[in-house]
Amino acid sequence: MPSITREDVVNQLRTVNDPELHQDLVTLNMVKEVQVDGGLVRVGIELTTPACPLRGQIGADVEEAIKRIPGVEQVEIEWGAQVRPSRPQTGEMGSVKNVIAIGSGKGGVGKSTVAVLLATGLRRAGATVGLLDSDVYGPSIPTMIGIEGARPEIRGNKILPIEACGLRIMSIGLMVERDTALIWRGPMVHGVVKQFLEQVAWGNLDYLIVDLPPGTGDVPLTLAQSIPMTGSVTVCTPQDVAVNDARRAVRMYEQLSIPCLGIIENMSYYLCPKCGHRDELFDHGGALAAAQELGVPYLGEIPLNARLRKFGDEGTPEKAFTDADDYVVQAIGRVVSALAGQISIRGELKRTAPTLTIE
């Protein structure tokens, strides 16, 4: 029987496509190493995000393809992940690979809760994540992260973000007293948001999650004019009034040339912890219908849950992934993975096929 060569393995991997990016792993430069030891083949696969939702499918396809080579008895895959930038790596924020705005058409839909959960989920997957609270009039991120009263350090002409829960965080709530009412006109808000973008020492980040104020006002416009953005996520609840506002938010981002990465339905349903009865308090499925109508991705649903509310009030977002009910943890995990997948897709749309480099 002829011996197995690295070229044999690489050629087989050219037949394996990333299910989301729709190109083969070799063209996408996801194959980082190939070793052949008799009938054992070891391959290194580098995913485009540590939160890849289709890792299991990619692994199965890789193993199946390599085992078609005569003489292969065993396949071992060593996984890695390298988040790829979807925005120019230049300027003040050149070390931030992806900037994602989390917005809503109206208040009260849990947008800030979702922003914290997304940031925490991406960080737990292994990414380096920043969280910018740009809701100047109602900053809630310091409470949800448990850093009320903390003050950022000023070093030279840079503001150092607060590091907590594995995240790098900045909020106007860290710079004023908790009960201070900011009665600011648009130009002042514009200036503060630009300062947070340009003067905060974010460092190297895979993702910067930006929690926007509700509605279609000054802050999204400032973001669009100030920095290249990966895209936006719109959060809504299922009832018609919230979904209608979400549609307007999506249209606003389109007018600002910010791609919509998807819609999330928050407070999608309530599951009674005692009897298991499911109650769709605010109706159900409105976000999915809106996404289909608008032709944008649907990232999933997050249930209404007392523990999530408690973790937000306590400033312990990590517990949403460890101490919440299993169905809640799974729902949040699906949304985080879906967002990571859409960011990877957006990044590949802006890139030409890279050159193969296998060490």
| pLDDT in the model for residue 343 | 95
Q: Are 319 and 312 a contacting pair, CB within 8 Å?
A: no
Confidence (pLDDT) at 282: 86
The predicted structure's pLDDT at residue 91: 74
Third-level CATH fold of 6-81:
GMP Synthetase; Chain A, domain 3 (3.30.300)
* pLDDT reported for residue 160: 96
Give the residue among 301, 307, 310, 288 at the shortest CA–CA distance from 331.
301
How many other β-carbons are positioned within 10 Å of the β-carbon of residue 227?
A: 19
Cα 310–Cα 315–Cα 319 angle in degrees, nearest 5: 65
Q: What is the pLDDT of residue 183?
A: 63
pLDDT of residue 184: 64
Domain residue ranges in the chain:
6-81, 99-349
Specify the pTM: 0.91
pLDDT at 355: 43
Q: Is the CATH number of domain 99-349 3.30.2290.10? A: no
The distance from CA 225 to its chain's CA centroid, rounded to whole angstroms, is 22
Tokens of 189: 């808000």
Helices (runs of H) and strands (runs of E) counted in the chain:
10, 14
Question: What's the rounded Cα separation, in Å, for the pair 75 and 66?
Answer: 7
In whole angstroms, what is the distance from residue 188 CA to residue 265 CA? 32
Per-residue pLDDT of the chain (359 residues; tens, 9 = 90+): 568 999 999 999 999 999 999 999 999 999 999 999 999 999 999 999 999 989 999 999 999 999 999 999 999 999 999 999 988 877 778 899 999 999 988 888 999 999 999 999 999 999 999 999 988 888 899 999 999 989 999 998 899 999 999 999 999 889 877 766 666 666 777 788 888 888 999 999 999 999 988 877 778 888 887 888 999 999 999 988 888 888 888 988 888 889 999 999 999 999 998 898 999 988 888 999 999 999 999 999 999 999 999 999 999 999 999 999 999 999 999 999 999 999 999 887 766 444 444 44
